[in-house]
Structure 1
């Protein structure tokens, strides 16, 4: 007996030594794959780039792995219980490995030669997800065990569970439970009920097989099994269990749900940051805060959308997408498939016309529902002939629709559905805070997801008359006044920089004769602009235009410059108009305000040159540094670069006042509907109406709108900047300025106002009945007229010393 015990002891000792030896051998072979303590405690998740508005609404997300990390304290108790019930009931009691589970895995390995069920604890799953691959090998499994044991020594159970809920893959590109809540339910994790939490807790085992969107029946079985486990383990009571198992499946693919539509902005930010950070941009958890105001961005989206559709509808209906009479009596599923194959557009529906009467059309929607279109939903649809011509208005529904037509419908607040078509025209809007250049709203086209070309920054189009205010500002700076007279009469220019003799005309072919500059601007008279540039000289004018941020080398060196023949982007135009808006200071547009990393460290903070007339300047340390100023902000007193003043404030105010008349009296009269006296602006329409513009501003906000076809086709007879782009500008500014006080451009106290003769621009005679008031710089006031002397011409800088003395004496009376 003693001998047998001795033999058993020796065998046991030998077996133990062999086990230790084998274990050491395995450890030695995999030790290089075991992370250090520092690596365990410095685990970083792959977190996507997220882009927000200035008021913290999500614009977009970039990264293959959708993840939103949360701390242990943010894990809902029911989720923790569901995870433990589904994956590792003994989590809080084992040392990182489950001996029984591993025993089962070893038996499977011995009998089948493969690892089938790994017996993995939550700790082992964390080890595999963070440090290992998913290959089914003996070596990997032992490495996983060693890492798990080490993790349990170095990290708390709460730390391990936190890593698990943030890393585990849950299908549909969702990594972590917070991301899964967003993807499957469109909610934060804290907003999910017990049934929903149990549903996503069932995903780690097999994200595809138990996916509630792809396999709802299997997902339901898995969910209810987890709920049963929670009940049996005392994690929930019977009432909670019963309510949860009776809950229907509510999951669907929500994807990444931005808070506001701003695809062009998100792409601008991504492209700019990629140049600095490369591919790390998509995984290191950067957060970008832009300058975008969400209220104004929403207003811009709606303004462009409605403006484009309004233009498209008044140019006629181009007909159905397809004609499928074979579908009229086809089974429902066949109808749905045919309609869904065409594809949706925004929140519109594709529909099949089943039957029509004189006043209605019965249609099948792509979602399977039936709807009735009333006459009001189709009566707009004159047939499209070309951009200049449309057919007669229809008199009944059958004039527009016939059974078998496949058409598009868009939602309508009054009619439910309205007959629609995808427009081919494009439009773009950009809006800046003129005091520092912060972009408040930007829409680069009608639909980003269909066409990502950003017309605000990438498209260079002719601004037409939208460019004239810059020419007029140059004239005022050179001594002209708003009352200066230019003869609006036919003229032929033999400019050597033009290919042939040029005979510019006004829109409509009408000529107005001698015209004051103020009138010429608000009427948008072309001849006056051309003659004015000829008098000023092209080279001096180009030099002056650089003050607005334009590169003279990018502008034409000929008289067509006066009519806006340069190719410029809407952002360039808006930047130039910002000078008029802010009192004569040059600012640079910017979109990114701040970039922070995953630990809230600031990687970038914008420091824009800012307009602040009352700021206290600081002393410069070197000649190369920009002048700094103190600014009182919501965050306190800050020091920022001061924007350079590039335009004489007197010149700037007079141009502003002249452009206010564009809205009061001229081509921008539609904007009077806003009932704001602080607004100024200018329309722009190019030859053959290929580009239509409106740019306008008050003392704080400047907005430019462009409309046209990408292929530069004409917009059609009767269309102008005032009919295509101005309505969108009005709609945007109505919302953007709602609740804001009037903001006028500051009027310099040195300016004087005198009465003039509206026909000659000269000083009005005493008692003249048709005299009007005009604003002048002190040194450019027309001389007092003498009834006994011939009428004096307005020669701007040619006043005699006696005339100036008389003028100055009169000015002292004002």
Structure 2
């Protein structure tokens, strides 16, 4: 076969033989291996770099933004007393911000030496320190070594959580670098020192200086600064206020001193001298650090601010709250309730009160519970949140105040104290279960009679009385009933104090308040002060005040009287209904609530006493109903310094010891010609008019004429007596001469007795002296000498038998018609309880 037909393989072999021989190939060596290794490493490096960069961007992708708003610290609010002195700093984090210029160099150096010695050299991250921290973390002990710079700590405190992960660490580094690009070193250091947690709810160096030492930053000593600079590592472990931490705190403080020396901030001698100082020197005690002073008052302050400004956050908005608190008054208030000034029957017996300025409405102190019921912060505060029936304490507010305001009654207006039934048919009783008939409004209030109070409110109109009460700050949960007139409406001591202060302030109401003003961090302020507003006539206010004086001097509130002060006030009690008495086996005389509200020109105080729960042994016995009055008396005696008296306004006219509104006609009620005999101060006597002076001159002239006539009558009388004696003498001589030596005995058996009338100085009928009529018939008459020749005055005492009482008129020295003034009930005062009835028995 020809060559052209050879197989493909054969042709390949032939061709191969025809080619020249090739050069000998070198064997593969080490060079190609290293080349491949380097290429592989390079490729892996590129892949790793790409993966690392990708991972980095993935980690920082959801890193928080450096928003300026987040760099604003939540600020605690400072609460000051009425004098502008700091009382308490309130907030989850106690914090006071300072600027870099306010940070002493000693403080800056201590923290730099301890936390970040290369702060001014790095750009946010100290890679040497970070590498050390990473190596430690690989051993499973992440975070035990401090690798974070001050800048990183700022990022961690303001923007990141406290979790310890690689992602958070990467974000920390990234954000620290960004922060350094946007803010100066001084600004970053300022952020750090204002944010750092230094234990005991102290956030920021300035707050810590106050909390631990009670000092400003510039006042701190080297040992004190070193102690504070050592706290950030572990505040709870190095807090020297805890006894168990003193040794650790001392060692840590000395470490800081050593670092300050190493970095050239202090000399060796300064270090050694500071190390000798006790770490506890100058520290506040743990109790001083933690305790909230005047808890009940602070609670009332915070609640008032939150109510008036609902969107405010007192714990973080950095407010300056200036209050009405008088620390001296508040300390004594706490003392009254919790020490042995008052003899309380047991630990369950409670008391609550509000003590305020009469003219401004500023509350100076409050009492809120005893023992286990003592007020706690953000808890139930009895002084402002108690809801208990006020009993007769409401009578000046709901009954007699409106009667003067709307009906223009005088204090001597007569009210019929006779049997009365509510519109439901239920009988209303006075405390002594008796009735006195017509009595003056002053007497009805002074002796706390229930029937006149309800009759008064009904005559005014219940809705009008409610309207009047609301002007004085009293609130109502429902429409008023007849029984509201005797105090069934539930109130707090603060409400009652505000109402009574209105009477003492000439009819001007200022809402009781605990805050004077607040100042925001930007310097703007908001006033809380209440401008007194004229809500009732000054005549009404003064006439109520004058009648309430009578309550304290000679009525149910005598235990609250203070001789050196002009005091006006009213008692109030409530009782248990029949179901409660039976359920708890309580005596019928038991009292549920006992109140006293009173005031002077300077202060007003409303006091409640009682038990929080109804129970067998949890009631006020008759001997303890005056405790409310005693609390009032102790507080006023301690705090009141103004000895002035209430001034009668020109709108009131005084008639004797009684009052009426100027320009109003004399009260047309029957038997009102003589006012009550309650003694009034000389300062309150109204200047007499010319007409009254003329009347007095006429009376004096009449008196002189009567005295002359009286002398003539006496001379005639003497002559008649002498003539009579001579006749008797002659008669006796005749009898003796006739042998009749008989002297008729006294007539004891019912015949006509011998009558020897006393002298009638007025020239008329002699006096007859019968015994008292206790059985119900016509009483006997025992008039004294009638020196004027006219009819004597008639003053009926209590009728003990049910019929006409005995009539004992005093001397009528002026001639003419006498006046009628019914006396008070003969029922004894039972500790301020007179006049009170079970409020549950009302409608």
Structure 2 residue 76 is the aligned partner of structure 1 residue 48 = yes
The Cα offsets for residues 747-784 of structure 1, whole Å up to 9 and x where unpaired, read as 322422233799964158xxx9x999998999xx99x9
SS of match in other structure, 2:491: coil
CA contact (8 A) 1:752 1:775 kept: no
Correspondent of 1:683 among 554, 571, 582: 571
SS of match in other structure, 1:69: coil
Q: What is the CA-CA distance between 1:58 and the residue it aligns to? A: 4.5
Q: Which residue is 1:424 aligned to?
A: 348
Correspondent of 1:480 among 400, 403, 409: 409
CA distance in 2, matches of 1:763, 1:189: 74
CA contact (8 A) 1:183 1:254 kept: no
Structure 2 residue 474 is the aligned partner of structure 1 residue 550 = yes
5 Å-filtered alignment, 1:323-402, equals: none
CA contact (8 A) 1:300 1:441 kept: yes
CA contact (8 A) 1:186 1:257 kept: no
CA distance in 1, matches of 2:360, 2:657: 37
5 Å-filtered alignment, 1:533-682, equals: 533=457, 536=460, 538=462, 540-551=464-475, 554=478, 556-558=480-482, 560-602=483-525, 604-606=526-528, 608=530, 610-611=531-532, 643=533, 645-673=534-562, 675-677=564-566, 679-682=567-570
CA distance in 2, matches of 1:433, 1:260: 21
Q: What is the CA-CA distance between 1:448 and the residue it aligns to? A: 1.8
SS of match in other structure, 2:385: coil
The Cα offsets for residues 528-582 of structure 1, whole Å up to 9 and x where unpaired, read as 4355446555455445434433356646512x44432332221221222122122
SS of match in other structure, 1:428: strand
Q: What is the CA-CA distance between 1:460 and the residue it aligns to? A: 1.7
Distance 1:273-1:538 versus aligned 2 partners, 3 A rule? closer
The Cα offsets for residues 476-532 of structure 1, whole Å up to 9 and x where unpaired, read as 3323322234465xx43222336x3333234xx677665433344334344543554
Q: Which residue is 2:430 aligned to?
A: 504
CA contact (8 A) 2:504 2:542 kept: no
CA distance in 2, matches of 1:570, 1:240: 60
CA distance in 1, matches of 2:354, 2:239: 42
Q: What is the CA-CA distance between 1:119 and the residue it aligns to? A: 1.6
CA distance in 2, matches of 1:206, 1:269: 32
Correspondent of 2:202 among 174, 179, 195: 174
Structure 2 residue 655 is the aligned partner of structure 1 residue 754 = yes
Q: Which residue is 1:327 aligned to?
A: none
Distance 1:597-1:11 versus aligned 2 partners, 3 A rule? farther
Distance 1:90-1:553 versus aligned 2 partners, 3 A rule? closer
The Cα offsets for residues 116-153 of structure 1, whole Å up to 9 and x where unpaired, read as 53521112111211122233333322322232223233
Q: Which residue is 1:716 aligned to?
A: 621
5 Å-filtered alignment, 1:217-296, equals: 217-250=247-280, 253-254=286-287, 256=289, 260-266=293-299, 269-270=302-303, 273=306, 277=310, 280-296=313-329
Q: Which residue is 1:128 aligned to?
A: 156
CA distance in 1, matches of 2:476, 2:235: 60
5 Å-filtered alignment, 1:796-807, equals: none
For structure 1, list consecutive stretches of 5 or more residues without a partner in the other structure.
1-6, 317-422, 612-642, 795-814
CA contact (8 A) 1:683 1:693 kept: yes
Q: Which residue is 1:524 aligned to?
A: 448
Structure 2 residue 370 is the aligned partner of structure 1 residue 298 = no
CA distance in 2, matches of 1:791, 1:504: 30
Distance 1:433-1:534 versus aligned 2 partners, 3 A rule? same
Q: Which residue is 2:375 aligned to?
A: 448
Distance 1:434-1:271 versus aligned 2 partners, 3 A rule? closer
For structure 2, list consecutive stretches of 5 or more residues without a partner in the other structure.
1-35, 576-589, 660-669, 700-789, 791-813, 822-843
CA contact (8 A) 1:53 1:59 kept: yes
Distance 1:164-1:273 versus aligned 2 partners, 3 A rule? same
Structure 2 residue 50 is the aligned partner of structure 1 residue 147 = no
CA contact (8 A) 1:184 1:254 kept: no
Q: What is the CA-CA distance between 1:656 and the residue it aligns to? A: 1.4
CA contact (8 A) 2:390 2:595 kept: yes
CA distance in 1, matches of 2:142, 2:415: 94
SS of match in other structure, 1:725: helix
CA distance in 2, matches of 1:297, 1:11: 83
CA distance in 2, matches of 1:54, 1:149: 48
Distance 1:481-1:298 versus aligned 2 partners, 3 A rule? same
RMSD value, Cα: 4.4
CA distance in 2, matches of 1:118, 1:442: 51
Q: What is the CA-CA distance between 1:44 and the residue it aligns to? A: 0.9
Distance 1:760-1:53 versus aligned 2 partners, 3 A rule? same
Structure 2 residue 608 is the aligned partner of structure 1 residue 706 = yes
Q: What is the CA-CA distance between 1:258 and the residue it aligns to? A: 6.4
Q: How many residues align?
A: 627
- Whichever structure has more strand as a proportion of its residues is 1
SS of match in other structure, 2:549: helix
Q: Which has the larger radius of gyration?
A: 2
SS of match in other structure, 1:659: helix
CA distance in 2, matches of 1:501, 1:238: 93
CA distance in 1, matches of 2:686, 2:643: 27
Q: What is the CA-CA distance between 1:445 and the residue it aligns to? A: 2.1
Q: What is the CA-CA distance between 1:650 and the residue it aligns to? A: 1.6
The Cα offsets for residues 325-366 of structure 1, whole Å up to 9 and x where unpaired, read as xxxxxxxxxxxxxxxxxxxxxxxxxxxxxxxxxxxxxxxxxx
CA distance in 1, matches of 2:388, 2:323: 27
Distance 1:70-1:717 versus aligned 2 partners, 3 A rule? same
CA contact (8 A) 1:584 1:648 kept: yes
Q: What is the CA-CA distance between 1:286 and the residue it aligns to? A: 3.4
Correspondent of 2:633 among 730, 747, 760: 730
TM-score normalized with structure 2 length: 0.64
Distance 1:514-1:502 versus aligned 2 partners, 3 A rule? closer
Distance 1:529-1:598 versus aligned 2 partners, 3 A rule? same
Greater Cα shift, 699-708 or 450-459: 450-459
CA contact (8 A) 1:582 1:700 kept: no
Q: What is the CA-CA distance between 1:242 and the residue it aligns to? A: 3.0
Distance 1:69-1:13 versus aligned 2 partners, 3 A rule? farther
TM-score normalized with structure 1 length: 0.67
Distance 1:17-1:80 versus aligned 2 partners, 3 A rule? farther
Q: What is the CA-CA distance between 1:237 and the residue it aligns to? A: 3.5
CA distance in 2, matches of 1:659, 1:242: 73
CA contact (8 A) 2:76 2:319 kept: yes
The Cα offsets for residues 563-606 of structure 1, whole Å up to 9 and x where unpaired, read as 3233222122122212212212344333344344433344x433
Greater Cα shift, 130-139 or 14-23: 14-23
SS of match in other structure, 1:686: strand
CA distance in 2, matches of 1:275, 1:540: 29
Q: What is the CA-CA distance between 1:651 and the residue it aligns to? A: 2.2
Distance 1:158-1:539 versus aligned 2 partners, 3 A rule? closer
